[in-house]
């Protein structure tokens, strides 16, 4: 009996900013097949933490579409929008340990004062970073400022990355990845001025609390992974295994994420689409499976799943 396989917990974590598209289907299929091939659990989490970016009805639409494709998830879908208290607890834990600080800068102030550009634009120049913060006794001014900033929502909360050093990990598809957070990213936001929690915090907290052991997702999130690993380190939780599948682009190199699936999803078209996704993922489904039923398609896909066949690139063209 294999011991590793029974411990596998994977997940698919869509953001309800629109209906499921081919690109998100790729992430769903890859995470699902990898979990099932390893006799693992597979969870779905609705990442609706960024309410302003949500499209009305998209969350339900995504779940219905996943059902139409025959995906089966192992416990109830959790919604990030319902979990602010949990994120707040973890934020406060980081605050008590002196890892975060309040920032009142406007976008414009940052743009005007930034000197360095990182992978996500201007590196925050630490304007609001309290110089005394890391003294054993945090001075009362700082503490007051922090205490007052939080409930009133007048400040965002940033994490100090000076002590992160080089964050390195081995991605099962993309190989060795490393990042110097201070140089490449800077002190990033965990809670926004409008009171909403940032994806980076929410995803780390939820992956940890849901016991996720294996994360298979799009390579557009490869750059975010070192930030997430740093947060895992500070929160004292285990870093999962990562595998980042290529992002789907069209012949002009544009992401397909804004496009919806061209054809309506029915029992027949869904199995043909899974076939195309398997091709995209380098799984070489036999040609005669093109017209297989969904059940046959999934049986084949899971039994023959080979993560090592997935193209080792961040972007891959897909011609519709
Ligand atoms: N919610 C994110 C997205 O749809 C994915 C997050 C993740 O898989 O870590 O882009
Ligand atoms: Zn600031």
Q: What is the CATH number of the domain that holds 38?
A: 3.40.50.620
- Per residue in 218-273, pLDDT (tens digit) is 999 999 999 999 999 999 999 999 999 999 998 888 877 655 554 556 666 899 99
The residue written with tokens 């192992």 in the block is 74
DSSP for 266-312, written as a single string: -HHHHHHHHHHHHHHTT----GGGGG--HHHHHHHHHHT--GGGS-S
Task: Please tell me the distance from the alpha carbon of residue 23 to that of residue 217, in angstroms, as a whole number.
Answer: 10
Q: Is residue 201 part of a domain?
A: no
Quick one: 215 and 164 in the same domain? no
What pLDDT does residue 88 have?
98
Q: Does residue 217 have its Cβ closer than 6 Å to ligand 1?
A: yes
* Nearest ligand to residue 23 Cα: 1
Confirm or reject: Cβ of 15 under 6 Å from ligand 1: yes
Determine the distance separating the centroid of ligand 2 and the alpha carbon of 133, expressed in angstroms. 14
Q: Is 222 contained in some domain?
A: yes
pLDDT value of residue 72: 98
Domain containing 308 equals: 9-82+210-317
Alpha carbon distance 134, 240 (integer Å): 29
Nearest-ligand number for the alpha carbon of 214: 1
- pLDDT, tens digit (0-9, with 9 covering 90-100), for 173-208: 999 999 999 999 999 999 999 999 999 999 999 999
Spans in the chain with pLDDT lower than 70 = 1-6, 132-153, 257-268, 320
pLDDT, position 252: 83
- Our answer on whether the CB atom of 237 is closer than 6 Å to any ligand 1 atom is no
Structural domain ending residue among the three candidates 125, 159, 191: 191
Q: 177 and 100 in one domain?
A: yes
Q: Which atom of ligand 1 is nearest to the CA of 228?
A: 9
- What is the C-alpha separation between 44 and 75, in angstroms, rounded? 8
Mutate to test the pocket of ligand 1, among 21, 35, 203, 206 (most ligand atoms within 8 A of CB): 203
Helix boundaries (H) for the chain: 3-6, 22-37, 58-68, 84-96, 107-113, 140-152, 181-184, 199-209, 225-235, 267-280, 294-303
Neighbours of 129 (CB within 10 A): 16
> Is the distance from CB of 80 to CB of 59 less than 8 angstroms?
no
């Amino acid at each position: 009996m294999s011991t590793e396989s029974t411990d596998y917990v994977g997940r698919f974590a869509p953001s309800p900013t629109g209906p499921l598209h081919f690109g998100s289907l790729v992430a769903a299929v890859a995470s699902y097949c990898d979990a099932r091939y390893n006799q693992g659990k597979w969870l779905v989490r609705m990442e609706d933490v960024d309410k302003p970016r949500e499209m009305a009805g998209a969350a339900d639409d995504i779940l219905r579409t996943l059902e139409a494709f025959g995906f089966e998830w192992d416990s109830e879908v959790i919604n990030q929008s319902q979990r602010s208290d949990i994120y707040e607890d973890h934020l406060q834990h980081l605050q008590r340990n002196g890892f975060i600080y309040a920032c009142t800068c406007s976008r414009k102030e940052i743009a005007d004062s930034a000197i360095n550009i990182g992978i996500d634009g201007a590196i925050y120049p630490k304007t609001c970073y309290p110089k005394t913060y890391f003294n054993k006794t945090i001075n009362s001014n700082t503490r007051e400022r922090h205490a007052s900033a939080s409930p009133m929502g007048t400040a965002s909360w940033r994490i100090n990355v000076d002590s992160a050093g080089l964050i390195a990990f081995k991605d099962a598809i993309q190989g060795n990845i490393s990042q110097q957070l201070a140089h490449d990213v800077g002190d990033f936001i965990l809670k926004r001025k409008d009171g909403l929690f940032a994806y980076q915090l929410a995803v780390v907290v939820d992956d940890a609390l849901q016991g996720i052991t294996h994360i298979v997702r799009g390579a557009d999130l490869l750059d975010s992974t070192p930030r997430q690993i740093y947060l895992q380190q500070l929160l004292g939780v285990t870093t999962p295994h990562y595998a980042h599948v290529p992002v789907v682009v069209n012949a002009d190199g544009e992401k397909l994420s804004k496009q919806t699936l061209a054809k309506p999803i029915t029992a027949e078209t869904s199995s043909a689409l899974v076939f195309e996704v398997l091709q995209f993922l380098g799984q070489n489904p036999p040609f005669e499976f093109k017209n297989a039923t969904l059940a046959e398609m999934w049986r084949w896909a899971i039994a023959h799943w080979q993560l090592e066949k997935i193209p080792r690139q961040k972007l891959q063209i897909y011609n519709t």
